[in-house]
Structure 1
Amino acid sequence: MLSNHQLFCGELVRLCAFRSEDASVMASWSHDAEYLRNVDSDMAVPTTEESFQSFVGKSSNGIEFLLRTVDNDTLIGFVALHGIEWNNQCGLLAIGIGEENFRSKGYGTDALRLILRYAFSELNLNRVGLDVISYNKRGIRAYEKVGFKVEGAMRESVLRDGHKYDRIIMSILRNEY
């Protein structure tokens, strides 16, 4: 059986609750176009610190965690399970590494392993899905590394800088984790 420490703590990151001082860091990420354009297909818009003060970590169909480094407690991103259909034991995943210096260094992969362990062992989900924009090669590699499989694509569903990109649909089942 996992201890609480193991449930929320990986090799590089920990799943954490929101702290009021986190709002300013999270607002700073909204000025990073690369981050915004990889984390969401919606239009990129800067967000105020005040808008993050109402950050809710849990709802009836989702849960959000902030990601902090194990070694020095630096806030580097978030991970969430949302759109959970309890009757179908499935949900959707979202993740973002907001701090540029922590990208492509294994922090996202470690966070994915943690949230999948949480989804399958704590929430008793059977399927976790996501969609990722086709140009986000770094994200796709991380998802595949932890076991996600490509299911298909929503062709030309994202328009960025005059170019059309697919959304890649991926999922992982409990028995594949």
Structure 2
Amino acid sequence: MITLEPFTPADFAQLIAWVDNERLQYEWSGSLFSFPLTPSALTWYLEGANDFAHPEVFIYKAVDSETGRAVGHISLGGISEHNRSGRISRVLVAEGKGRGYCAAMVRALLRIGFEELHLHRIDLGVYDFNQAAIRCYKKCGLRIDGIMRDVVRHDDHYWSLVEMSILEDEWRAQQL
């Protein structure tokens, strides 16, 4: 259903078109980028990415296997070889919402993390108002570790961050 392919400069225009407003960009990337998203910012974002010899960050576009169309974006970064851990970030389902793309993207990334990178723990943070994403992550086996209350201020509102994770043995038990 979904395949993850390395995100490349050829994908910049599509991502820029998807992230077309400041709030969405902030939900997607926090303060990593300033609005609007630009090719030069994305060039910086890709530096050192997708190198299995020196794993630091892996950045992917999600492609619908049937249509060949890119439908989303996801990354796995914060990789610590010593702690065998990583962090899912910048998850964006841009097209075909409600079709199971989020779960397929996350499961594909968990497979890479646990099978190819031999990680022990993978975590993520999601804003508490994004209940659809929280349901998706739970469906993929992630558990809520805690909530960081009022961690981000956007406009005149505070957003809380739900921290979630899954351990290698929990993921492997799901594969049976």
* TM-score bucket (shorter structure): 0.7 to 0.9
2:76 corresponds to 1:81: yes
Using the size of structure 2 for normalisation, the TM-score is: 0.83
Which residue in the other structure is 1:126 paired with? Answer: 120
Q: Deviations over 1:12-49 (max 9, x none)?
A: 21110234431111111231445324323327611123
Using the size of structure 1 for normalisation, the TM-score is: 0.83
* Residues 150 and 171, structure 1, Cα contact 8 Å, conserved in 2: yes
Runs of 5+ unmatched residues, structure 2: 172-176
* Residues 77 and 98, structure 1, Cα contact 8 Å, conserved in 2: yes
Which residue in the other structure is 1:116 paired with? Answer: 110
2:142 corresponds to 1:148: yes
- Within the candidate set 38, 46, 54, 1:48 is matched to 38
* Residues 122 and 165, structure 2, Cα contact 8 Å, conserved in 1: yes
Runs of 5+ unmatched residues, structure 1: 1-11
Query: Which region of structure 1 is more displaced relative to structure 2, 50-59 or 78-87?
Result: 50-59
Query: How far does residue 169 in structure 1 lie from its aligned partner after superposition?
Result: 0.8
* Residues 26 and 49, structure 1, Cα contact 8 Å, conserved in 2: no
Q: Identity over aligned residues, as a percent?
A: 25
CA distance in structure 2 between the aligned counterparts of 1:68 and 1:36, rounded to whole angstroms: 21
CA distance in structure 1 between the aligned counterparts of 2:69 and 2:43, rounded to whole angstroms: 18
Query: How far does residue 53 in structure 1 lie from its aligned partner after superposition?
Result: 4.7
CA distance in structure 1 between the aligned counterparts of 2:24 and 2:167, rounded to whole angstroms: 27
